[in-house]
Every structure is written in C-alpha cells, then in structure tokens.
Structure 1
Amino acid sequence: MKTTLLLFGIAADLAGNSSLTIELPNKSTIASFKEFLSAEFPEFQKMSSYAVAINESYATDEALIQENDVIAIIPPVSGG
C-alpha cells in the first residue's frame, strides 16, 4: 500500500528529503514501519528517539497504517 512520509528536522536531513511516497505491506503497524525505516535509512538509528504521527495524530507502535495515510516523523525538539 502507498503512503506519504513527511520528515521534519534532523529526520529530513538523514533521509535527504522532507517528503517521500513509500510502499508498505498491508496491515503494517507503526512498529513494523519503524523496522522498515531503519532498514531503508540506516542513518535513522542515530536518532535516540522520535515520535510518529498518522494523519496529524500521534500514533503508538500498535497503530495500523492504512492506504494513503500520511505518516510524519517528528524528531525530539531542543531549544533554549
């Protein structure tokens, strides 16, 4: 199934793009998506943590991804 992946901050830098169309197996969860992401972009293993959203709502590892969902990778924010 096709989904859109949006990447912000360091995640966009590591992937070399801020938006991608990706193909995932049917009935993928956020947990399996994270495994896909680490395999596709090994640089992501350098991020200690990041949040994932589906269609602008934060998602847990158990959440199912549907065809045409928009998945966002949101890295930790630091500031001062």
Structure 2
Amino acid sequence: MNKVLFFAALKEVIGEDSLQMDLNGKTVGEAKSILQDKFPALPLEVAMTAINEEFAFDEDIIKKEDSIAFIPPVSGG
C-alpha cells in the first residue's frame, strides 16, 4: 500500500490529510486520474507531486510502499 498525503486546500477537499491506496506500478499521472475520478473537485492539475519527499513528474513510476504527496501552489507575503 501507498500513503498518499494532501496539504492545505487539497486536504480540505479530501477531508483528511492522507489516504492509503495501492498505486504500485502506476505512474504519477495515472494516480492523479484515479484520485480525480474519486474526488472530482480535487485540483491536482495545479499541484506539485513528490514521491518519498522528492519532486516527481507525471511519468514517474510509483513503487510499493512509496509515499506520495500532493502540494498545492503556495503564495504569501
């Protein structure tokens, strides 16, 4: 199983800060599609993705027990 983490506004859409999902062998892009189907209001198209705390791209493959994080854009002053 994989731990999928959500931050800030993404966490509010999900209603939790993390989910357990089996994403082994899927690409980040496929994981995003699965999550979008389950949570249509989730704005993953603007989110950055990290696998095991390292930035990842849509074509990167998720391995067994990887931790995936979705991080929305941040603004501040």
**What secondary structure is seen at the aligned counterpart in 2 of 1:43?**
coil
| 1:23 to partner: Cα distance | 2.1
Q: What pairs up with 1:34-73 in 2 under 5 angstroms?
A: 34-45=32-43, 49-73=46-70
Q: How far apart, in 2, do the equivalents of 1:41 and 1:28 lie? A: 18
Q: How far apart, in 2, do the equivalents of 1:52 and 1:39 lie? A: 18
**What secondary structure is seen at the aligned counterpart in 2 of 1:76?**
coil
**What secondary structure is seen at the aligned counterpart in 2 of 1:66?**
coil
**What secondary structure is seen at the aligned counterpart in 1 of 2:13?**
helix
| 1:48 to partner: Cα distance | 5.2
* 1:27 and 2:25 are equivalent in the alignment: yes
Q: How far apart, in 1, do the equivalents of 2:32 and 2:74 lie? A: 19
- Structure 1 unaligned blocks of 5 or more: none
- Structure 2 unaligned blocks of 5 or more: none
**What secondary structure is seen at the aligned counterpart in 2 of 1:28?**
coil
Among all aligned residue pairs of Structure 1 and Structure 2, give the percentage whose two residues are the same amino acid.
39
Q: TM-score, normalised by structure 1?
A: 0.88
Equivalence for 1:11: 10
Aligned length: 77
Q: TM-score, normalised by structure 2?
A: 0.91
Contact 2:25 2:64 in 1 (8 A): no
Q: How far apart, in 1, do the equivalents of 2:75 and 2:13 lie? A: 17
